[in-house]
Structure 1
Amino acid sequence: MEDVKMRKEFFKGNRRRMYQEMKPHSLLVMFSGREVRKTSDEYYPFYTDRNFLYLTGLEGKEFILLVRKDSESEINEKIYMLPPDLLKERWTGERMKPGQVEETSGIGNFGYVEEFETDFHKLASVGNYQYLYLDVYKEDTDDGDLPAHRLLSKAAKVYPYLRIENANAIVRSLRTIKQPCEIEAMREAEKITREGITAMMKASRPGMYEYQYKAVFDYTLGQYGPQGPAFPSIISAGKNNFCIHYYSYTGQAQDGDMVLNDVGAWHDHLMNDVSRGWPCNGRYNEKQRRLYECALKTSNHMFGMIKPGMPMAEVDAEIRRYNALMLKEAGVLKNVEEIGTYMWHGGAHHVGFDVHDAIKQPEVIAPGMVFCVDVGIYHEEWGIGFRLEDNCLVTEDGCENLSVITPRTIAEIEDTMKKGYYAASI
């Protein structure tokens, strides 16, 4: 793999574009997040807030970014970090030093987290600032409060004169269009994902358990870095393919079953999302072939028509419309209006720093956007369920299938599988 690394210039540029959208006489506070307790003295693996990461490049718990925008040209940035603690670092690893923080983020002004509250109070109470930008987005209203929500509650009581502004909306807008270094990182992630998927194809055989497929994928990704899958892998066989988000991995692929995978890797913070469906025995039967060809024709149709200026909502709509036509031609559907019997979910979501990227949902497609083209077909009567999902980069005059490097036609998949388990058994 190429050594594609995002430099501090990328993160400095993201912050500069963020500040251009902020009003003068404003404060911005962003948090990297805190550990979540799993049980007793154990915590879940820490996962840095992606908007904070997008602005700073810093991965780690309890970082705080505090920014003062006094005028259009006068910006002051400061990073607060955990202080050195030799005893804690002996248990959980070395903490970042100021020089490392500056080299990664491009921010040279530092403090320790215990200083933040005092510093913030001084700034918020002097009367120079009218606005406070916070990222207080919640996916669901029942989600727990994060540090930004706690600061919001305190500001309402102690600094009621500060008007709260939505930092999340600004970052989402910035993340909608990928920059060249992001696209290159996604290309590298595609290569890693291809290796994981083809390794599963080559290992596939009747009698193989889903957790064994997952072990093959995880092992392969482990050869390219410690980060592992971009999201919890969906790997299923047979009847389990009819659970769209399936994570049990306890089923066994029987001869004649389709294996469904919905997986991804990440590289340098950027993620992808690729789905393939193949027969565990290496040969598509007539019904599997008929359905898969419908999905493939639909996918190819989409990659032939997506271009700048197309309404974003039309991607889902056209996938559904065209796949219905293909299934009708194949004799699967009597009426295209019955497509809901076999298509159960949408066909497009953006990818990037998140696998379901937190962007400003666009009305119109534009160059630099990256989203999935996902064609799912679920025929319960035939016991066949799979999806064909690729990542689409919108270019100046069309689009590019970033995941075309992963076998996707019947011939490519069957040929790949011939080079695996059965070839070794001869």
Structure 2
Amino acid sequence: MNKIFFVTNRQKLGDVLSQNSIAIFFAGQAPYKSADETYPFTPNRNFYYLTGIDEEKVIMVMININGKVSEMLFIQENDPVMAKWVGETISEDRAKEVSGIEDIKFLKDFESIIASYFDRFSIDNVYLDLERQEFNIPQTSSQNFAVDIMKRYPYVRVKNVYHDIALLRTIKREEEIELIKKAIDITYDGIKEIWSNAKPGMKEYEIEAYFNYILKKNGVKDFAFPTIAATGKNATILHYVDNNTKTEDGEIMLLDLGAQYKYYNGDISRTFPINGKFSERQKEVYNIVLEANETVMKAVKPGITTGELQDITKRVLAQGCKRIGLIKEDSELNKYYYHGVAHPLGLDTHDVGPRNIELKPGMIITDEPGLYIEEEGIGVRIEDDILVTEDGYVNLSAHIIKSIEDIEMFMSKNNN
């Protein structure tokens, strides 16, 4: 990602800051897993969106004094001893190159420099990314800082800038769209690897491993979310991630998976027969979900809300379920469909934005209807990633096959 992307994001955010204010953003820090071992670090997504820096403990500061906005980045000084254990920390030159911020300082000076601004200027507002909305536990760096500021400077107003950043992030720029498309492409490579190797009798985690292999082969460090590879009744559990059941001949597997590429995510669901052939009943259920997926997609355009897309989903699913004798009344659908059809996608898999959002050009959402029939051991979900355009939509995952005929043909040709 070019540094101009991050510079532009900060410029847009700078327009929100009032005069004589300070905005402070924290990269975060990896939490401890055990006595001396941490979980892998991943940066606060809003911090990354503004800086492009993915190193822990780094702090970015924006200061508006009399209408002029300046920026500073606080990084760790390199410790030669620690470098032998964990590698060198980001250099001043590299921090400038990535973020476009010229004023680079060291973390040891953070408190004194910030205090000097309070001493020299009449700072009225401090903007923080209080994404959790409450000063609850566990505390984030922003929340801890907010508490400290309110104690030291009780006259200063602490303002939550989270929603302002979220508003910027909902509209994807061309660079972001390309990264999401790349994540989707890698995800499809993993799906094809699964379809080429899955066989009855394998454990779900064995099948999942083919996806993991393809991601690592493509240099992907992380998943968009824990992979769901579910058969039988497991496929009726929305966020089933144990993936430890032996697959049986005649079952279908629900895949919900995604690669994360340079922190941008793909989110795809496909359902396929373990033995390469759908049964007639599985076809009936699958085609209802496919009809809902395609009907919702055709309805995507600026101005429609995700709530309205959910209404369309329920209508199509209810009609289909009544057609095959699964339900008699629309109200019974809740037994077999119990989640939303769409959510924003981006730096977070369930990206920022309100739950019932009005679509605008540049937004990317998922389209993921499903049916989950526990008593029959059938769970079907079909999910695509959709870009909202000025006059409608583009299906970013259109190349990922999903018709019964195409899936069966692919497995017949490639799974030997």
Q: For this structure pair, what is the TM-score category when the shorter chain's length is used for normalisation?
A: over 0.9
Q: List, as ranges, runs of 4+ consecutive aligned residues in structure 1 with deviation greater than 6 Å.
A: none
CA offsets 1:235-255 (integer angstroms, 9 cap, x no match): 122221122111212111111
Corresponding residue of 1:46? 41
- Tell me, yes or no, if structure 1 residue 172 matches structure 2 residue 172: no
- Tell me, yes or no, if structure 1 residue 16 matches structure 2 residue 11: yes
Corresponding residue of 2:152? 158
Deviation at 1:215, TM superposition (A): 1.0
SS at match of 1:333: coil
User: Separation in 2 of the partners of 1:311 and 1:254?
Assistant: 40
Within 5 Å, which residues of 2 pair with 1:377-388? Answer: 377-388=371-382
Deviation at 1:142, TM superposition (A): 5.3
Q: Which amino acid aligns with 2:25?
A: M
- Tell me, yes or no, if structure 1 residue 306 matches structure 2 residue 265: no
Deviation at 1:330, TM superposition (A): 2.9
Q: Which amino acid aligns with 1:124?
A: F
- Tell me, yes or no, if structure 1 residue 114 matches structure 2 residue 113: no
TM-score by length of 1: 0.95
Corresponding residue of 2:277? 283
User: Separation in 2 of the partners of 1:307 and 1:126?
Assistant: 51
Moved more, 326-335 or 295-304: 326-335
Aligned pair partner of 1:358 in 347, 352, 371: 352
Q: Which amino acid aligns with 2:138?
A: G
Distance change >3 Å, CA 41–CA 124, structure 1 → 2:
same
Contact 1:62 1:81 in 2 (8 A): yes
How many residues are treated as equivalent by the alignment?
Answer: 416
Within 5 Å, which residues of 2 pair with 1:193-272? Answer: 193-272=187-266
- Tell me, yes or no, if structure 1 residue 129 matches structure 2 residue 158: no
- Tell me, yes or no, if structure 1 residue 103 matches structure 2 residue 65: no
TM-score by length of 2: 0.97
User: Separation in 2 of the partners of 1:213 and 1:142?
Assistant: 40
User: Separation in 2 of the partners of 1:142 and 1:238?
Assistant: 39
SS at match of 2:339: coil
Q: Which amino acid aligns with 1:286?
A: E
Distance change >3 Å, CA 75–CA 143, structure 1 → 2:
same
User: Separation in 1 of the partners of 2:271 and 2:306?
Assistant: 26
Q: Which amino acid aligns with 1:156?
A: M
Corresponding residue of 1:3? none
Q: Which amino acid aligns with 2:80?
A: L
User: Which stretches in structure 1 are left out of the alignment for 5+ residues?
Assistant: 1-5
Q: Identity of paired residues, percent?
A: 33
Deviation at 1:359, TM superposition (A): 2.7
Contact 1:198 1:407 in 2 (8 A): no
- Tell me, yes or no, if structure 1 residue 70 matches structure 2 residue 68: no
Corresponding residue of 2:317? 323
Moved more, 234-243 or 100-109: 234-243
CA offsets 1:159-197 (integer angstroms, 9 cap, x no match): 111111111111011011111111111111111011011
Contact 1:390 1:402 in 2 (8 A): yes
SS at match of 1:129: coil
Corresponding residue of 1:148? 142
CA offsets 1:81-138 (integer angstroms, 9 cap, x no match): 1111111111112211111111111001111111101111111233421110001221
Moved more, 400-409 or 147-156: 400-409
Corresponding residue of 1:59? 54
User: Separation in 2 of the partners of 1:298 and 1:129?
Assistant: 54
SS at match of 1:381: helix
Corresponding residue of 1:36? 31
Moved more, 345-354 or 398-407: 398-407
SS at match of 2:272: strand
User: Separation in 2 of the partners of 1:129 and 1:137?
Assistant: 23
User: Separation in 1 of the partners of 2:32 and 2:264?
Assistant: 26
Q: Which amino acid aligns with 1:190?
A: I
Deviation at 1:143, TM superposition (A): 4.3
Distance change >3 Å, CA 214–CA 140, structure 1 → 2:
farther
SS at match of 1:164: strand
Moved more, 118-127 or 52-61: 118-127
CA offsets 1:11-67 (integer angstroms, 9 cap, x no match): 111111011111111100000001200011110001110000000000010000011
User: Separation in 2 of the partners of 1:221 and 1:272?
Assistant: 12
Contact 2:285 2:380 in 1 (8 A): no
Aligned pair partner of 2:182 in 162, 166, 188: 188
